Chain A
Amino acid sequence: MADTVKLTIDGKEVRARADMNLIDAAETAGIHIPNLCYLKGLKGSGACRLCLVEIEGLKSPMTACTTRVKEGMFVNTRTEKVQEIRKYVIDLILSMHPLDCMTCTKAGVCELQKYAYDFGIKESTFTRKKFGFPVDNKNPFINRDPDYCILCGRCVRVCKEQGTAVLDFHGRGVGSRVVTAEDKPLQEGGCTFCGSCVDACPVNALLEADRWRKGREWEYERYNSVCLSCGNACDTVVSVHDKDVAKVNAGADDGRARHYICAYGRFGFDFINADTRVMSPLKRIDGELKPISWDEEANQLG
């Protein structure tokens, strides 16, 4: 077990592993430090600047995703200064975002929506920017809609780590996009459809295909499960809507970067409702397989 250190976050005494960053450490104490580009398990990139916190003894705020805990550290995550930065950044993002929460599939679990709500930003005070980028939806698994993208870079980083490193930024700043090499659709771009990027995306820019108007996130029942398609037996979370599987995500705690499931585990749930699926014991009667009840089956075996 690694060494632990003691620090104070928002007046709360926190004991944390010495190699933790401030976001993770605060989380163990139930304190959420806002962030949009941090992905648990991956190195922080300090891009969105939402996680800026003030540390006593330091003049300028530090990004919690890239700052390690230290013995005796005094951290304030909610000062006026850093709250203003958060509002400012969310305000800027909203000025280039479709603001489509009423029909958006991601609504309910969207992190941008959550922060806009938390900070009470109804609409952007900045100049409206529109793009109209083409949607990449010619594959059966993943929809990519760059208009919703907030350029957090999570997908790019997670694809480098867990996928096939097919995603990258094209351009910089406002008007830039996440693309594959030569801007090809995913299926031609070397993507293996692990879907890690879908789990990583905080907004509606990367989404499982076929989810449009198939129930909303808050209507789903969620079950911790295990994929049995191969010997790895990965943890999954299955979301069920109206007795049908709506989606499968990487499992355990929060389903972020540390957890990986492959395309079979994530998208291979069609067999559940397939005509060929065996739902009850079968008995060969007159050369034909006929379904029998479970009781009958038990008697036969006994």
Chain B
Amino acid sequence: MEKKKVVKVEEIKKAAEEKRCPVQKAAYYIEEFLKGPMCGRCFPCAFGSYEAGVRLRNIIEGSGKEEDIFALRRITEDMIVASLCKRGKDSAEFVHEWMETDAFKEHVEGRCPDIDCPAFIEYIIIPEKCTMCGLCKEVCKYNAVLGEKKVKYKTGYLPFEVRQKRCVKCGDCIDVCPTGAIIVTESRKKEGVKV
């Protein structure tokens, strides 16, 4: 059996830093850490990082609560003290650092300040800028864009619109819009909240 080369925690951290939102950074980091360098040899890190992953996903998906932040603080602080090796301790330090901003609290309150987490954002089309070229509608794989392509000399068109229920926030439409009419904003209502 050939041994897989384990990714270094620093490399994962570097990739995580490319995300804008600190919660996204932490969630990405933990996910990759669990897939790779987390060896499972000690309880505080093996079980703790898994639980951290669960809590981070809660927050990202919009169902985060104050207690998730509390649990993450406890996990990271105890991992720093109790993990068997440096990888576990370092990982906890990274997450702990990302938690220093208010971003986590804001997510729990219903917004992603970096407008990054899909659960907290919306893609919308500004009618004044939209030329009704229909490119976004063509490119959207999820049939989320509502509108009729403009034909010469006809009037009475409704502006193009993103149907929020269908939109998965992939961002493809933004890339093709020639006039920059599509923007990402904070979602108007808190989404994904489990009742």
Contacts and interface: CB of A to CB of B under 8 A. Distances in A.
A84 B78 contact: yes
Contacts of B47: 89, 92-93, 95-96, 173-174
Interface in A42-98: 45-49, 52, 60-61, 81, 84-85, 88-89, 92-93, 95-96
A47 B42 contact: yes
Contacts of A95: 47, 51
Contacts of B75: 88
A132 interface: no
A224 interface: no
Contacts of A264: none
B38 A88 contact: no
A173 B47 CA distance: 6
Contact of A89 (B44, B50, B84): B44
Contacts of B48: 88, 92
A85 B47 CA distance: 13
Contacts of B81: 52, 60-61, 81, 85
A67 to B, nearest CB: 14
Nearest to A171: B40
Interface residues of B, number: 24
Interface residues of A, number: 27
B74 interface: yes
B82 interface: yes
Contacts of A84: 78
B84 A61 contact: no
Given A93-B43, A127-B54, A174-B50, A49 B71 contact: no
Contacts of A61: 81-82
A88 B39 contact: no
Given A95-B51, A127-B55, A169-B40, 17 more contacts: A47-B42, A49-B44, A81-B81, A84-B78, A85-B44, A88-B48, A88-B75, A88-B82, A92-B47, A126-B51, A126-B71, A127-B54, A151-B43, A171-B40, A172-B38, A172-B40, A173-B40
A158 to B, nearest CB: 18
Contacts of A88: 44, 48, 74-75, 78, 82
A215 to B, nearest CB: 32
Interface of B: 34, 38-44, 46-51, 54-55, 71, 74-75, 78, 81-84
A87 to B, nearest CB: 9
A173 B71 contact: no
B40 A89 contact: no
Contact of B84 (A49, A126, A127, A174): A49
A89 B38 contact: no
A49 B43 contact: yes
A260 B162 CA distance: 71
A92 B50 CA distance: 10
Contacts of B41: 45, 47, 172
A89 B51 contact: no
Contacts of A127: 51, 54-55
A125 interface: yes
8 contacts: A47-B43, A88-B78, A88-B82, A89-B44, A93-B43, A127-B55, A172-B39, A173-B46
B81 to A, nearest CB: 6
A131 to B, nearest CB: 13
Nearest to A49: B82
A90 to B, nearest CB: 10
Contacts of B34: 173
Contacts of A49: 42-44, 82-84
A196 B129 CA distance: 76
A81 B82 CA distance: 10
A172 B84 CA distance: 15
B65 to A, nearest CB: 12
A84 B79 CA distance: 11
Contacts of A47: 41-43, 84
A192 interface: no
Interface in A134-156: 151
B51 A92 contact: yes
A41 to B, nearest CB: 21
A48 B55 CA distance: 22
